[in-house]
Copies of this chain bind each other. A is one copy, B any other.
Amino acid sequence: MKLDPNSAADLSAQIAQAIRDAIVAGDLIVDERLPSEAELSEQFQVSRPTVREALKRLAAQSLIRTQRGATGGAFVNRLNYEDAYSQQITTSTLLLSMNAVSFDTACEARYALERACAPLSATRRSADQLATMRAEIFRQGQPGLTDEAFCASDVAFHRALVDGAGNPVLSYQLAGAVEAMQPLMNMITFTARDRQIILALHTRIADAIEAGDGPDAVQGLSALEDETRKLAADVFAARAKR
C-alpha cells in the first residue's frame, strides 16, 4: 500500500482508497483487524489525525467498524443487507431529489423493477408475506388515513411483494427504488376515489400472487403504474394552473 505524493487527492482519501482496494480485492478479510492507528500512521508516514480521517471515510461506507479498548481497533466489517439498504436509500433519494428526476422516469423504473419480481413472488411468497400484503390493503381502506400514512402503507405493501421473490439481492436493489420514491409520492393527494381504485388494484395483485399467477400480477402492476402516472399528472397539472 503506497501513496502517490503527486496526486491531487488528500492523503486521507488516498489512504482510504488503498485500504478499500485491499478489502475489495480480498487482501483484508472479514473481521480481520487493521493495524492500530499509530501503526498505520507509521506505515503510511502520515500523522494519526490523517489516518483517522481515512478510517472515518471507510466507516461511513460501513467497510470497517471500530472498537475501543485494549483489544480494540478497526475491523473489516461484514457488509450486511441492512447497512447496504440504508445507504442505497439515502443515495437514491438524493439522486432523485437533486437531479430533478421526473416523476414519470422514477415511476417507470420502479414499476419495471417490480414487474421483474412479480413472477418470482407469485411462486415463492411465504404465507407471512402474503398476510402482510393483505394487512396493508386493509389498512389502506381505513377511513381517516392521512396521505402520508397511506403512502407508507403503500411502500410496505410493495416491499412485501418484492421480498416475496425470496431473493435478497433483488430486495436490496429494489429497496432504493421503492423507498426513494416516497418523497415524490408524498406530493400527491389521494382522493377517496383514487384510494378506492388503488385498493382494487392492490387486491388484484395480491390475488394474483396468492393464486401463483405471475402474468396476472404483472398486468396488475402495469395497470397500477398507469393509474399512478395519471394521478400524478393530474396533481401536477392542477398545481401548475394555480
A-side residues, CB < 8 A to B, are 12-13, 16, 20, 23-24, 26, 30, 49, 52-54, 56-61, 63, 78-81, 84, 87-88, 90-99, 101, 105-106, 108-110, 112-113, 115-117, 120, 165, 167-170, 172-174, 176-177
- CB neighbours (8 Å) of A26 from chain B are 97
Measured CA separation A237–B123 after assembly (Å): 27
Q: Are A20 and B61 in contact (CB under 8 A)?
A: no
How distant is A180 from chain B, measured CB to nearest CB, in Å? 9
What would be 30 A-B contacts, judged by CB atoms less than 8 Å apart?
A23-B94, A24-B90, A52-B53, A53-B53, A53-B56, A56-B56, A57-B57, A61-B90, A78-B99, A79-B91, A79-B94, A79-B99, A81-B95, A84-B91, A88-B88, A95-B172, A96-B169, A101-B168, A105-B167, A105-B168, A109-B167, A109-B169, A109-B170, A110-B169, A112-B116, A112-B165, A112-B170, A113-B173, A169-B177, A173-B174
Q: How many copies does the complex hold?
A: 2
From A78, A84, A109, name the one whose CB has the most chain B CB atoms within 10 angstroms.
A109
Among A23, A30, A53, A93, which residue has the most Cβ atoms of chain B within 10 A? A53
Q: Which residues of B contact A49 (CB under 8 A)?
A: 49, 52
Q: How many whole Å from A204's CB to the nearest CB in chain B?
A: 20
Q: Which residue of B lies closest to A62 (CB)?
A: B91
- Tell me which residues across on chain B come within 8 A of A59, comparing CB atoms: 13, 57
CA distance A46 to B91 in the complex (A): 28
Bound complex: CA of A186 vs CA of B192, how far in Å?
53
Contacts of A24 in B (CB 8 A): 90, 93-94
CA distance A117 to B61 in the complex (A): 29
